[in-house]
Structure 1
Amino acid sequence: MLLTNAALVTGLLAGSSYAGSIPANVKTFYDGIKSKGSCSKALKTGFYALDGGAKDFSYCGDHMTDYNVLYIQGKNGQLADMDIDCDGIIKSPYSDGRCEASQDTQPQSSYIEQIQGYNVGIKDVDSYIHSYVVLGNYADQGKSGYTTFHPTDYGIEPLSIVAVVCNNQLFYGVWADQNGDDGPPMVGEASLAIATLCFGKNAVNGDKGHSDLDVLYIAFPGSDAVPGAKGANWKASTAKAFQDSLTAQGNKLIQRIGGGGGSGPSPTTTGGGSGPAPTCAWAGHCKGASCKTDDDCSDPWGCVSGKCA
Protein backbone atom coordinates (compact mmCIF):
# COMPACT_ATOMS: atom_id res chain seq x y z
CA MET A 1 0.00 0.00 0.00
CA LEU A 2 2.84 2.38 0.83
CA LEU A 3 4.46 1.71 -2.54
CA THR A 4 1.17 2.36 -4.28
CA ASN A 5 0.67 5.70 -2.53
CA ALA A 6 4.27 6.74 -3.12
CA ALA A 7 3.98 5.82 -6.77
CA LEU A 8 0.77 7.83 -7.03
CA VAL A 9 2.40 10.93 -5.57
CA THR A 10 5.44 10.52 -7.80
CA GLY A 11 3.17 10.21 -10.81
CA LEU A 12 1.25 13.32 -9.86
CA LEU A 13 4.44 15.35 -9.49
CA ALA A 14 5.98 14.00 -12.67
CA GLY A 15 2.84 14.70 -14.66
CA SER A 16 2.04 18.05 -13.13
CA SER A 17 2.26 21.19 -15.18
CA TYR A 18 2.76 24.66 -13.81
CA ALA A 19 -1.00 25.10 -14.01
CA GLY A 20 -1.61 23.94 -10.46
CA SER A 21 -3.57 26.11 -8.08
CA ILE A 22 -1.87 29.27 -6.90
CA PRO A 23 -0.62 28.90 -3.28
CA ALA A 24 -3.16 30.16 -0.77
CA ASN A 25 -1.02 33.05 0.46
CA VAL A 26 -0.35 34.32 -3.08
CA LYS A 27 -4.01 33.93 -4.06
CA THR A 28 -5.07 35.93 -0.99
CA PHE A 29 -2.47 38.58 -1.83
CA TYR A 30 -3.68 38.76 -5.45
CA ASP A 31 -7.35 39.03 -4.48
CA GLY A 32 -6.58 41.61 -1.80
CA ILE A 33 -4.73 43.87 -4.22
CA LYS A 34 -7.58 43.72 -6.73
CA SER A 35 -10.26 44.35 -4.12
CA LYS A 36 -8.34 47.29 -2.64
CA GLY A 37 -8.56 48.97 -6.04
CA SER A 38 -5.38 51.03 -6.27
CA CYS A 39 -1.94 51.56 -4.81
CA SER A 40 -1.76 53.85 -1.78
CA LYS A 41 2.05 54.02 -1.54
CA ALA A 42 3.24 54.37 -5.12
CA LEU A 43 7.00 54.28 -5.56
CA LYS A 44 6.44 55.88 -8.97
CA THR A 45 3.28 56.43 -10.98
CA GLY A 46 2.43 57.74 -14.43
CA PHE A 47 2.85 54.59 -16.53
CA TYR A 48 0.75 52.99 -19.26
CA ALA A 49 -0.21 49.32 -19.49
CA LEU A 50 -1.99 49.65 -22.83
CA ASP A 51 -1.21 51.90 -25.77
CA GLY A 52 -3.78 54.67 -25.68
CA GLY A 53 -4.96 53.60 -22.23
CA ALA A 54 -4.85 55.37 -18.90
CA LYS A 55 -1.59 56.77 -17.56
CA ASP A 56 -2.29 55.70 -14.00
CA PHE A 57 -0.25 52.54 -13.42
CA SER A 58 2.29 52.43 -10.63
CA TYR A 59 5.18 50.51 -9.20
CA CYS A 60 3.57 49.91 -5.84
CA GLY A 61 5.27 49.81 -2.44
CA ASP A 62 2.24 49.10 -0.25
CA HIS A 63 3.84 45.88 0.98
CA MET A 64 7.52 46.82 1.07
CA THR A 65 7.49 47.01 4.87
CA ASP A 66 5.48 43.92 5.81
CA TYR A 67 6.32 41.49 2.98
CA ASN A 68 9.35 43.13 1.33
CA VAL A 69 7.88 42.96 -2.18
CA LEU A 70 6.90 45.48 -4.82
CA TYR A 71 4.45 45.02 -7.66
CA ILE A 72 2.66 46.77 -10.53
CA GLN A 73 -0.90 48.04 -10.15
CA GLY A 74 -3.35 50.37 -11.84
CA LYS A 75 -6.61 51.77 -10.50
CA ASN A 76 -10.04 50.27 -9.90
CA GLY A 77 -8.62 46.82 -9.30
CA GLN A 78 -6.61 46.72 -12.50
CA LEU A 79 -3.25 45.02 -12.62
CA ALA A 80 -0.90 44.84 -15.63
CA ASP A 81 -1.14 43.15 -19.01
CA MET A 82 1.53 41.02 -20.67
CA ASP A 83 3.12 42.39 -23.82
CA ILE A 84 5.79 40.24 -25.44
CA ASP A 85 9.47 41.14 -25.28
CA CYS A 86 11.76 39.42 -27.78
CA ASP A 87 14.98 41.31 -26.99
CA GLY A 88 18.20 39.39 -26.54
CA ILE A 89 19.14 36.59 -28.90
CA ILE A 90 17.29 37.58 -32.06
CA LYS A 91 18.23 34.58 -34.20
CA SER A 92 17.21 31.91 -31.75
CA PRO A 93 18.00 28.28 -32.59
CA TYR A 94 14.64 27.48 -31.00
CA SER A 95 12.66 29.90 -33.18
CA ASP A 96 9.25 28.91 -34.48
CA GLY A 97 8.70 32.29 -36.14
CA ARG A 98 6.59 33.86 -33.40
CA CYS A 99 9.18 36.37 -32.16
CA GLU A 100 9.86 37.39 -35.73
CA ALA A 101 6.35 38.88 -35.79
CA SER A 102 7.56 41.63 -33.45
CA GLN A 103 8.22 45.05 -34.93
CA ASP A 104 10.16 46.26 -31.88
CA THR A 105 13.12 44.13 -30.85
CA GLN A 106 16.60 44.97 -29.65
CA PRO A 107 19.66 42.78 -30.31
CA GLN A 108 20.51 42.61 -26.62
CA SER A 109 18.85 42.63 -23.23
CA SER A 110 19.54 45.21 -20.54
CA TYR A 111 21.78 42.87 -18.55
CA ILE A 112 23.72 41.13 -21.29
CA GLU A 113 27.02 41.98 -19.59
CA GLN A 114 25.98 40.28 -16.35
CA ILE A 115 24.79 37.22 -18.26
CA GLN A 116 28.03 36.96 -20.18
CA GLY A 117 29.90 37.49 -16.91
CA TYR A 118 28.25 34.33 -15.57
CA ASN A 119 30.28 32.40 -18.15
CA VAL A 120 27.56 29.79 -18.55
CA GLY A 121 27.81 29.32 -22.30
CA ILE A 122 25.10 31.70 -23.54
CA LYS A 123 25.51 35.14 -25.07
CA ASP A 124 22.21 36.59 -23.83
CA VAL A 125 18.68 35.61 -22.84
CA ASP A 126 16.55 33.89 -25.46
CA SER A 127 12.88 34.90 -25.38
CA TYR A 128 11.86 31.41 -26.53
CA ILE A 129 13.64 29.70 -23.65
CA HIS A 130 14.25 32.07 -20.75
CA SER A 131 11.22 33.18 -18.76
CA TYR A 132 12.09 36.79 -18.05
CA VAL A 133 10.25 39.96 -17.06
CA VAL A 134 10.67 43.60 -18.10
CA LEU A 135 10.84 46.01 -15.16
CA GLY A 136 12.05 49.59 -14.96
CA ASN A 137 11.79 52.55 -17.32
CA TYR A 138 14.88 54.46 -18.38
CA ALA A 139 15.57 57.42 -20.63
CA ASP A 140 18.69 58.35 -22.53
CA GLN A 141 20.65 61.27 -21.13
CA GLY A 142 19.23 64.58 -22.21
CA LYS A 143 15.70 63.32 -22.82
CA SER A 144 13.32 65.12 -20.49
CA GLY A 145 9.68 64.49 -19.70
CA TYR A 146 9.93 60.70 -19.75
CA THR A 147 8.72 58.95 -16.59
CA THR A 148 11.54 56.78 -15.27
CA PHE A 149 11.72 54.12 -12.60
CA HIS A 150 14.78 52.23 -11.43
CA PRO A 151 13.99 49.04 -9.46
CA THR A 152 17.56 48.98 -8.17
CA ASP A 153 16.72 52.07 -6.09
CA TYR A 154 14.49 49.78 -4.03
CA GLY A 155 16.79 46.79 -3.71
CA ILE A 156 15.67 44.82 -6.77
CA GLU A 157 18.81 43.28 -8.27
CA PRO A 158 19.35 42.56 -11.98
CA LEU A 159 18.48 39.00 -13.01
CA SER A 160 16.58 38.46 -9.75
CA ILE A 161 13.47 36.29 -9.65
CA VAL A 162 10.04 37.84 -10.28
CA ALA A 163 6.83 35.96 -9.52
CA VAL A 164 4.12 36.25 -12.16
CA VAL A 165 0.46 35.41 -11.50
CA CYS A 166 -1.28 34.92 -14.83
CA ASN A 167 -4.24 32.91 -16.09
CA ASN A 168 -4.81 31.46 -12.60
CA GLN A 169 -1.26 30.12 -12.47
CA LEU A 170 2.03 31.06 -10.83
CA PHE A 171 5.33 31.22 -12.73
CA TYR A 172 8.78 32.60 -12.09
CA GLY A 173 10.91 34.75 -14.35
CA VAL A 174 14.08 36.77 -13.99
CA TRP A 175 14.35 40.53 -14.37
CA ALA A 176 16.41 40.70 -17.57
CA ASP A 177 15.22 43.78 -19.48
CA GLN A 178 13.93 47.34 -19.08
CA ASN A 179 11.57 49.58 -21.04
CA GLY A 180 13.29 52.17 -23.20
CA ASP A 181 12.14 55.67 -24.11
CA ASP A 182 11.27 54.91 -27.75
CA GLY A 183 7.59 55.17 -26.84
CA PRO A 184 5.37 56.00 -23.86
CA PRO A 185 6.51 54.73 -20.44
CA MET A 186 4.99 51.25 -20.29
CA VAL A 187 4.60 48.45 -17.76
CA GLY A 188 3.60 44.82 -18.18
CA GLU A 189 5.95 42.92 -20.46
CA ALA A 190 7.61 39.51 -20.41
CA SER A 191 9.40 37.08 -22.67
CA LEU A 192 7.64 34.82 -25.15
CA ALA A 193 8.65 31.85 -22.98
CA ILE A 194 6.73 32.94 -19.92
CA ALA A 195 3.78 34.22 -21.97
CA THR A 196 3.54 30.83 -23.67
CA LEU A 197 3.59 29.03 -20.32
CA CYS A 198 0.83 31.37 -19.11
CA PHE A 199 -1.50 31.47 -22.09
CA GLY A 200 -0.45 28.81 -24.58
CA LYS A 201 1.54 28.80 -27.81
CA ASN A 202 -1.37 29.78 -30.06
CA ALA A 203 -2.39 32.76 -27.94
CA VAL A 204 0.79 34.85 -28.09
CA ASN A 205 3.57 35.92 -30.42
CA GLY A 206 5.98 38.82 -30.80
CA ASP A 207 3.16 41.09 -31.98
CA LYS A 208 0.33 39.68 -29.89
CA GLY A 209 0.29 39.63 -26.11
CA HIS A 210 -2.33 39.34 -23.39
CA SER A 211 -4.26 42.63 -23.08
CA ASP A 212 -6.46 41.91 -20.07
CA LEU A 213 -5.34 43.85 -17.02
CA ASP A 214 -5.16 40.88 -14.67
CA VAL A 215 -1.47 39.92 -14.53
CA LEU A 216 0.41 40.45 -11.26
CA TYR A 217 4.19 40.92 -11.28
CA ILE A 218 5.85 40.60 -7.86
CA ALA A 219 9.52 41.57 -7.44
CA PHE A 220 11.68 40.70 -4.42
CA PRO A 221 14.36 43.04 -3.04
CA GLY A 222 17.56 41.44 -1.82
CA SER A 223 20.38 39.22 -3.00
CA ASP A 224 18.48 36.06 -1.98
CA ALA A 225 16.27 36.63 -5.04
CA VAL A 226 19.20 36.29 -7.47
CA PRO A 227 19.82 32.75 -8.79
CA GLY A 228 23.20 33.75 -10.21
CA ALA A 229 25.31 31.61 -12.52
CA LYS A 230 24.73 28.30 -10.72
CA GLY A 231 21.18 28.77 -9.47
CA ALA A 232 19.44 28.58 -12.85
CA ASN A 233 19.70 26.32 -15.87
CA TRP A 234 20.80 29.09 -18.27
CA LYS A 235 21.67 26.59 -21.01
CA ALA A 236 18.23 24.96 -20.94
CA SER A 237 16.85 23.94 -24.31
CA THR A 238 13.18 24.32 -23.34
CA ALA A 239 11.19 26.97 -21.51
CA LYS A 240 9.95 24.35 -19.04
CA ALA A 241 13.49 23.29 -18.16
CA PHE A 242 14.50 26.87 -17.40
CA GLN A 243 11.30 27.43 -15.43
CA ASP A 244 11.98 24.27 -13.41
CA SER A 245 15.39 25.59 -12.42
CA LEU A 246 13.82 28.70 -10.83
CA THR A 247 11.07 26.89 -8.96
CA ALA A 248 12.74 25.99 -5.66
CA GLN A 249 14.17 29.48 -5.12
CA GLY A 250 10.94 31.11 -6.25
CA ASN A 251 8.96 28.98 -3.83
CA LYS A 252 11.15 30.22 -0.99
CA LEU A 253 10.64 33.85 -2.00
CA ILE A 254 6.85 33.69 -2.02
CA GLN A 255 6.94 32.61 1.61
CA ARG A 256 7.47 36.30 2.38
CA ILE A 257 3.90 37.00 1.41
CA GLY A 258 1.42 36.77 4.23
CA GLY A 259 3.76 34.71 6.35
CA GLY A 260 3.86 31.83 3.87
CA GLY A 261 1.02 29.34 3.74
CA GLY A 262 1.67 27.89 0.29
CA SER A 263 4.29 25.75 -1.37
CA GLY A 264 4.26 27.11 -4.92
CA PRO A 265 4.47 25.26 -8.24
CA SER A 266 6.02 21.82 -8.54
CA PRO A 267 8.84 21.29 -11.03
CA THR A 268 8.00 19.07 -14.00
CA THR A 269 10.15 16.21 -15.16
CA THR A 270 9.31 16.67 -18.82
CA GLY A 271 11.21 19.85 -19.57
CA GLY A 272 14.00 18.25 -21.58
CA GLY A 273 16.74 19.68 -19.39
CA SER A 274 18.02 19.58 -15.86
CA GLY A 275 18.37 22.29 -13.23
CA PRO A 276 19.17 22.41 -9.54
CA ALA A 277 17.24 19.85 -7.51
CA PRO A 278 14.29 21.27 -5.55
CA THR A 279 14.84 21.81 -1.84
CA CYS A 280 12.48 22.14 1.10
CA ALA A 281 11.26 25.73 1.10
CA TRP A 282 8.70 25.60 3.91
CA ALA A 283 10.11 24.96 7.38
CA GLY A 284 8.09 22.42 9.35
CA HIS A 285 6.63 20.93 6.20
CA CYS A 286 9.65 19.09 4.85
CA LYS A 287 10.04 15.40 4.10
CA GLY A 288 8.94 13.33 7.09
CA ALA A 289 6.77 16.03 8.66
CA SER A 290 3.22 15.18 9.76
CA CYS A 291 0.50 16.23 7.33
CA LYS A 292 -3.18 15.91 6.50
CA THR A 293 -3.17 17.14 2.88
CA ASP A 294 -0.59 17.84 0.17
CA ASP A 295 -0.85 21.53 1.07
CA ASP A 296 0.88 20.73 4.37
CA CYS A 297 4.04 19.63 2.55
CA SER A 298 6.68 21.73 0.84
CA ASP A 299 7.40 20.89 -2.78
CA PRO A 300 8.38 18.47 -4.16
CA TRP A 301 6.62 16.26 -1.56
CA GLY A 302 3.02 15.19 -1.10
CA CYS A 303 1.15 13.86 1.92
CA VAL A 304 1.46 10.05 2.03
CA SER A 305 -0.02 8.12 4.98
CA GLY A 306 0.17 11.21 7.19
CA LYS A 307 3.78 12.05 6.37
CA CYS A 308 5.34 14.36 3.77
CA ALA A 309 7.04 12.02 1.29
Structure 2
Amino acid sequence: MFKIPVLSSERKISLLLALVTLTSVPFFDSIPQSVIAAPERATNFPDTQNHWAQPFITRLAERNIITGYPDGTYRPNQSVDRDEFAAIIRQAFNQNKERTIPSGSVYKDVPANYWAAEPIEEAYEMGFMHGYPGEYFRPKQPVSRVEALVSLSQNLNLTTAQTARRQTTRRRFFFPLAMTTLMQPLMTAKATNKTVSPLQNAPASAVVSNYYTDAKNIPQYAVDDVAAATQAGIVVNYPNTKILNPNQPATRGTIAAFIYQALVNQGRLEPLSNNVKAYNYIVDRSNNQ
Protein backbone atom coordinates (compact mmCIF):
# COMPACT_ATOMS: atom_id res chain seq x y z
CA MET A 1 0.00 0.00 0.00
CA PHE A 2 1.30 3.45 -0.98
CA LYS A 3 2.26 5.63 1.96
CA ILE A 4 2.15 9.42 1.85
CA PRO A 5 5.57 10.67 2.91
CA VAL A 6 5.72 12.81 6.00
CA LEU A 7 7.44 16.11 5.31
CA SER A 8 9.52 17.93 7.83
CA SER A 9 8.66 21.52 8.75
CA GLU A 10 11.70 22.79 6.83
CA ARG A 11 10.64 20.86 3.72
CA LYS A 12 7.10 22.23 3.94
CA ILE A 13 8.39 25.80 4.14
CA SER A 14 10.69 25.25 1.14
CA LEU A 15 7.85 23.88 -0.98
CA LEU A 16 5.57 26.73 0.04
CA LEU A 17 8.16 29.35 -0.91
CA ALA A 18 8.73 27.65 -4.26
CA LEU A 19 4.99 27.66 -4.95
CA VAL A 20 4.66 31.35 -4.10
CA THR A 21 7.61 32.19 -6.35
CA LEU A 22 6.23 30.26 -9.31
CA THR A 23 2.77 31.80 -9.07
CA SER A 24 3.78 35.38 -8.36
CA VAL A 25 6.62 36.03 -10.80
CA PRO A 26 4.54 35.98 -14.02
CA PHE A 27 1.89 38.14 -12.39
CA PHE A 28 4.23 40.93 -11.34
CA ASP A 29 6.22 40.73 -14.57
CA SER A 30 3.03 41.58 -16.45
CA ILE A 31 2.38 44.74 -14.43
CA PRO A 32 4.37 47.93 -15.05
CA GLN A 33 6.26 48.68 -11.87
CA SER A 34 4.81 52.18 -11.87
CA VAL A 35 1.41 50.79 -10.90
CA ILE A 36 2.75 48.61 -8.07
CA ALA A 37 2.28 50.67 -4.93
CA ALA A 38 5.46 51.70 -3.19
CA PRO A 39 5.55 51.77 0.62
CA GLU A 40 4.95 55.53 0.51
CA ARG A 41 3.51 57.35 -2.49
CA ALA A 42 6.13 59.78 -3.76
CA THR A 43 5.24 63.11 -5.32
CA ASN A 44 8.74 64.55 -5.73
CA PHE A 45 10.84 62.27 -7.88
CA PRO A 46 14.65 62.57 -7.98
CA ASP A 47 14.75 62.11 -11.76
CA THR A 48 12.27 64.93 -12.47
CA GLN A 49 13.84 67.75 -10.47
CA ASN A 50 15.50 69.26 -13.54
CA HIS A 51 13.07 67.87 -16.08
CA TRP A 52 11.01 70.26 -18.19
CA ALA A 53 7.73 68.51 -17.22
CA GLN A 54 8.40 68.50 -13.46
CA PRO A 55 5.54 70.89 -12.49
CA PHE A 56 2.98 68.82 -14.41
CA ILE A 57 4.28 65.54 -12.98
CA THR A 58 4.42 66.70 -9.37
CA ARG A 59 0.94 68.20 -9.36
CA LEU A 60 -0.65 65.12 -10.90
CA ALA A 61 1.24 62.84 -8.50
CA GLU A 62 -0.09 64.88 -5.58
CA ARG A 63 -3.60 64.03 -6.81
CA ASN A 64 -2.76 60.35 -7.30
CA ILE A 65 -3.41 60.58 -11.04
CA ILE A 66 0.06 59.32 -11.90
CA THR A 67 2.52 57.28 -9.87
CA GLY A 68 6.21 56.55 -9.83
CA TYR A 69 8.19 53.34 -9.54
CA PRO A 70 9.09 51.39 -6.40
CA ASP A 71 12.64 52.72 -6.57
CA GLY A 72 11.28 56.25 -6.15
CA THR A 73 11.82 57.36 -9.75
CA TYR A 74 9.28 58.52 -12.31
CA ARG A 75 11.24 57.90 -15.55
CA PRO A 76 9.78 60.88 -17.44
CA ASN A 77 11.49 60.02 -20.74
CA GLN A 78 10.09 56.49 -20.89
CA SER A 79 7.36 55.85 -23.47
CA VAL A 80 3.78 55.11 -22.41
CA ASP A 81 2.06 51.94 -23.62
CA ARG A 82 -1.65 51.76 -24.35
CA ASP A 83 -2.44 49.83 -21.18
CA GLU A 84 -0.68 52.41 -19.01
CA PHE A 85 -2.38 55.27 -20.87
CA ALA A 86 -5.75 53.64 -20.15
CA ALA A 87 -4.88 53.46 -16.45
CA ILE A 88 -3.93 57.17 -16.39
CA ILE A 89 -7.13 58.12 -18.24
CA ARG A 90 -9.15 56.20 -15.69
CA GLN A 91 -7.53 58.08 -12.81
CA ALA A 92 -7.77 61.51 -14.43
CA PHE A 93 -11.28 61.61 -15.84
CA ASN A 94 -14.74 60.64 -14.72
CA GLN A 95 -16.68 60.89 -17.95
CA ASN A 96 -20.07 59.37 -18.54
CA LYS A 97 -20.06 56.09 -20.41
CA GLU A 98 -20.66 56.45 -24.13
CA ARG A 99 -20.98 52.72 -24.73
CA THR A 100 -20.87 49.42 -22.92
CA ILE A 101 -18.80 46.39 -23.75
CA PRO A 102 -21.23 43.54 -24.52
CA SER A 103 -21.33 40.83 -21.88
CA GLY A 104 -18.61 38.27 -22.49
CA SER A 105 -16.90 40.39 -25.13
CA VAL A 106 -13.21 41.01 -24.41
CA TYR A 107 -10.17 41.84 -26.46
CA LYS A 108 -8.32 38.73 -27.49
CA ASP A 109 -5.03 40.11 -26.17
CA VAL A 110 -6.46 41.39 -22.86
CA PRO A 111 -7.22 38.42 -20.58
CA ALA A 112 -9.78 38.92 -17.83
CA ASN A 113 -7.02 38.70 -15.21
CA TYR A 114 -4.74 41.19 -16.98
CA TRP A 115 -3.68 43.99 -14.63
CA ALA A 116 -5.15 46.70 -16.90
CA ALA A 117 -8.29 44.86 -18.03
CA GLU A 118 -10.59 47.09 -15.98
CA PRO A 119 -8.91 50.42 -16.89
CA ILE A 120 -8.95 49.41 -20.57
CA GLU A 121 -12.64 48.57 -20.34
CA GLU A 122 -13.44 51.89 -18.68
CA ALA A 123 -11.32 53.92 -21.12
CA TYR A 124 -13.19 52.21 -23.95
CA GLU A 125 -16.61 52.78 -22.41
CA MET A 126 -15.86 56.47 -21.79
CA GLY A 127 -14.84 56.76 -25.44
CA PHE A 128 -11.18 57.62 -24.87
CA MET A 129 -9.74 54.50 -26.47
CA HIS A 130 -10.62 52.05 -29.22
CA GLY A 131 -9.48 48.62 -30.24
CA TYR A 132 -8.06 47.33 -33.50
CA PRO A 133 -9.66 45.11 -36.14
CA GLY A 134 -9.97 41.50 -35.09
CA GLU A 135 -10.87 42.40 -31.48
CA TYR A 136 -7.33 43.32 -30.49
CA PHE A 137 -6.28 46.14 -28.17
CA ARG A 138 -2.47 45.89 -28.41
CA PRO A 139 -1.90 46.86 -24.76
CA LYS A 140 1.90 46.96 -25.02
CA GLN A 141 1.96 49.21 -28.07
CA PRO A 142 3.37 52.69 -27.33
CA VAL A 143 0.96 55.61 -27.60
CA SER A 144 2.05 58.29 -30.06
CA ARG A 145 1.75 61.98 -29.26
CA VAL A 146 -0.95 62.48 -31.88
CA GLU A 147 -2.95 59.48 -30.63
CA ALA A 148 -2.96 60.92 -27.12
CA LEU A 149 -4.11 64.32 -28.39
CA VAL A 150 -6.88 62.82 -30.53
CA SER A 151 -8.09 60.78 -27.57
CA LEU A 152 -8.28 63.84 -25.33
CA SER A 153 -9.70 66.18 -27.96
CA GLN A 154 -12.52 63.90 -29.07
CA ASN A 155 -13.67 62.88 -25.65
CA LEU A 156 -13.46 66.28 -24.00
CA ASN A 157 -15.57 67.68 -26.86
CA LEU A 158 -12.96 70.21 -27.94
CA THR A 159 -13.60 72.24 -31.08
CA THR A 160 -11.68 74.69 -33.21
CA ALA A 161 -12.80 78.31 -33.29
CA GLN A 162 -14.29 77.72 -36.73
CA THR A 163 -16.30 74.71 -35.57
CA ALA A 164 -17.51 76.59 -32.51
CA ARG A 165 -18.71 79.44 -34.70
CA ARG A 166 -20.64 77.02 -36.90
CA GLN A 167 -22.34 75.60 -33.82
CA THR A 168 -23.24 78.96 -32.29
CA THR A 169 -24.66 80.40 -35.51
CA ARG A 170 -27.43 77.83 -35.27
CA ARG A 171 -28.68 79.49 -32.07
CA ARG A 172 -29.19 83.08 -33.20
CA PHE A 173 -31.59 85.42 -31.40
CA PHE A 174 -34.03 87.51 -33.44
CA PHE A 175 -35.26 90.91 -32.28
CA PRO A 176 -37.99 93.18 -33.65
CA LEU A 177 -36.72 95.69 -36.22
CA ALA A 178 -37.37 98.68 -33.94
CA MET A 179 -35.32 97.11 -31.15
CA THR A 180 -32.39 96.36 -33.44
CA THR A 181 -32.43 100.00 -34.56
CA LEU A 182 -32.15 101.18 -30.97
CA MET A 183 -29.42 98.64 -30.23
CA GLN A 184 -27.33 99.49 -33.30
CA PRO A 185 -25.02 102.04 -31.57
CA LEU A 186 -24.29 99.55 -28.78
CA MET A 187 -23.72 96.69 -31.20
CA THR A 188 -21.39 98.81 -33.34
CA ALA A 189 -19.37 99.96 -30.34
CA LYS A 190 -18.95 96.41 -29.11
CA ALA A 191 -17.83 95.21 -32.52
CA THR A 192 -15.20 97.92 -32.89
CA ASN A 193 -13.64 97.08 -29.52
CA LYS A 194 -13.30 93.36 -30.21
CA THR A 195 -10.01 91.94 -31.47
CA VAL A 196 -10.57 89.26 -34.07
CA SER A 197 -8.00 86.48 -34.29
CA PRO A 198 -6.68 85.88 -37.81
CA LEU A 199 -7.34 82.16 -37.25
CA GLN A 200 -10.91 82.62 -36.06
CA ASN A 201 -12.39 81.57 -39.39
CA ALA A 202 -9.49 79.42 -40.55
CA PRO A 203 -9.88 75.71 -41.29
CA ALA A 204 -8.09 73.23 -39.03
CA SER A 205 -5.37 72.64 -41.62
CA ALA A 206 -4.49 76.34 -41.55
CA VAL A 207 -4.53 76.36 -37.75
CA VAL A 208 -2.00 73.55 -37.41
CA SER A 209 0.16 74.99 -40.20
CA ASN A 210 0.28 78.28 -38.32
CA TYR A 211 1.39 76.62 -35.09
CA TYR A 212 3.67 73.80 -36.26
CA THR A 213 6.52 73.66 -38.76
CA ASP A 214 5.99 69.90 -39.08
CA ALA A 215 2.21 70.10 -39.55
CA LYS A 216 2.52 68.02 -42.73
CA ASN A 217 3.39 65.03 -40.53
CA ILE A 218 0.04 65.10 -38.75
CA PRO A 219 -2.15 62.25 -40.06
CA GLN A 220 -5.15 63.57 -41.96
CA TYR A 221 -7.62 61.95 -39.57
CA ALA A 222 -6.08 63.87 -36.67
CA VAL A 223 -5.85 67.41 -38.08
CA ASP A 224 -9.16 68.66 -36.65
CA ASP A 225 -8.47 67.19 -33.21
CA VAL A 226 -4.91 68.49 -33.03
CA ALA A 227 -6.12 71.96 -34.02
CA ALA A 228 -8.81 71.84 -31.33
CA ALA A 229 -6.40 70.55 -28.67
CA THR A 230 -3.92 73.27 -29.59
CA GLN A 231 -6.42 76.10 -29.31
CA ALA A 232 -7.64 74.62 -26.01
CA GLY A 233 -4.12 74.91 -24.59
CA ILE A 234 -3.58 71.17 -24.19
CA VAL A 235 -0.55 70.74 -26.46
CA VAL A 236 2.82 71.08 -24.75
CA ASN A 237 5.98 70.84 -26.88
CA TYR A 238 9.51 70.66 -25.53
CA PRO A 239 11.95 72.14 -26.34
CA ASN A 240 10.44 73.93 -29.36
CA THR A 241 6.74 74.78 -29.29
CA LYS A 242 6.70 74.95 -33.09
CA ILE A 243 7.66 71.27 -33.47
CA LEU A 244 4.90 68.78 -32.65
CA ASN A 245 6.60 65.47 -33.54
CA PRO A 246 3.12 63.95 -33.85
CA ASN A 247 4.14 60.38 -34.61
CA GLN A 248 6.78 59.99 -31.93
CA PRO A 249 5.93 57.84 -28.89
CA ALA A 250 4.58 59.96 -26.06
CA THR A 251 6.77 59.92 -22.98
CA ARG A 252 5.58 59.80 -19.39
CA GLY A 253 6.55 63.46 -19.06
CA THR A 254 4.58 64.44 -22.17
CA ILE A 255 1.48 62.51 -21.11
CA ALA A 256 1.60 64.20 -17.71
CA ALA A 257 1.71 67.60 -19.43
CA PHE A 258 -1.18 66.78 -21.80
CA ILE A 259 -3.35 65.38 -19.00
CA TYR A 260 -2.62 68.34 -16.73
CA GLN A 261 -3.54 70.84 -19.43
CA ALA A 262 -6.71 68.90 -20.24
CA LEU A 263 -7.75 69.17 -16.59
CA VAL A 264 -6.96 72.89 -16.67
CA ASN A 265 -9.22 73.19 -19.71
CA GLN A 266 -11.98 71.48 -17.73
CA GLY A 267 -11.50 73.92 -14.87
CA ARG A 268 -10.43 71.16 -12.51
CA LEU A 269 -6.85 72.35 -12.00
CA GLU A 270 -5.22 75.75 -11.74
CA PRO A 271 -3.10 76.83 -14.73
CA LEU A 272 0.65 77.03 -14.31
CA SER A 273 1.89 80.46 -13.35
CA ASN A 274 3.65 82.30 -16.17
CA ASN A 275 6.80 82.49 -14.06
CA VAL A 276 7.13 78.69 -14.15
CA LYS A 277 9.53 77.61 -16.88
CA ALA A 278 7.28 74.80 -18.12
CA TYR A 279 4.60 77.40 -18.88
CA ASN A 280 6.65 78.48 -21.91
CA TYR A 281 6.24 75.07 -23.55
CA ILE A 282 2.44 75.31 -23.71
CA VAL A 283 1.79 76.00 -27.38
CA ASP A 284 -1.28 78.24 -27.03
CA ARG A 285 -1.20 79.98 -23.67
CA SER A 286 -4.24 82.21 -24.21
CA ASN A 287 -6.37 79.86 -22.09
CA ASN A 288 -3.78 79.71 -19.31
CA GLN A 289 -3.82 83.32 -18.20
TM-score, length-scaled by structure 2: 0.26
More helix by share: 2
More strand by share: 1
Q: Which has the larger radius of gyration?
A: 2
TM-score, length-scaled by structure 1: 0.25
